[in-house]
Amino acid sequence: MEQRITSVYIISPQTKAILLKERSYFRSIILEGNMQRRSLHKPEQIINNSCLLYGSTLDGRRKAVKRILKSSSKLPVPIIPEKGVYMLPTASIKNKSCVWLAYHHIDTYEKYQDQTYIKFFDGNDLLINISHNVFDMQYKRTSQLIVHMNRGFLFDQRSFRNRYFKF
């Protein structure tokens, strides 16, 4: 896997995961395709910068998601909703073991001892420190958010009514 160091990183549809790695020079490891990037910024800063570029702040996105999901912890974040890029955290943002995963890159996940093994669509994988049940809940909450934010597109009321209810 190729490695690069970057000062400013903006999340894109190719971003698969962001991991906090407190080292003397860099703060994050970003998995993107078959590449591993290192950033000087913490995952929260990367996510906030990306949200700003795509029209909001991390705080603004979190407030919206909080209202939608009626929850306030471990909230998924819509980064580029129009392109289907949603990041889900495996723990609280302040937790050092928090990994941010791109929902659209996750193919499967399964229990491995007391952790969760994530398999991405491109064949790469990642073992994360989260129970399978907690990860399953995070994954489903992100699905719920995606459906809510795309309700108009997915369930256009007129075409839905015409298709299924003939009066």
Global pTM? 0.88
CA-derived radius of gyration, the chain: 17
Question: What Å distances lie between residue 153 and 67, 86, 143, 156, 160, CA to CA?
Answer: 20, 17, 15, 6, 11
pLDDT above 60: residue 161: no
H runs (alpha helix) in 2-131: 43-53, 58-69
Q: What is the pLDDT of residue 153?
A: 76
Residue 166 lies in a domain: no
pLDDT above 50: residue 167: no
Count of domains for the chain? 1
Contact, 98 vs 92, CB < 8 A? yes
Residue 164 lies in a domain: no
Q: DSSP class of residue 90? A: S
pLDDT above 80: residue 2: no
Query: Which of 26-35, 40-49, 124-133, 154-163 has the least mean pLDDT?
Result: 154-163
pLDDT in tens, 14-50: 999 999 987 778 899 999 988 999 999 999 999 999 9
Residue 11 lies in a domain: yes
Give the domain extent around 40.
2-154
Residue 42 lies in a domain: yes
pLDDT in tens, 105-120: 999 999 999 999 999 9
Residue 140 lies in a domain: yes
Contact, 57 vs 48, CB < 8 A? yes
Q: DSSP class of residue 23? A: -
Indicate the pLDDT class of residue 154, thresholds 50, 70 and 90. Answer: confident
Which two three-digit tokens encode residue 1? 């896997």
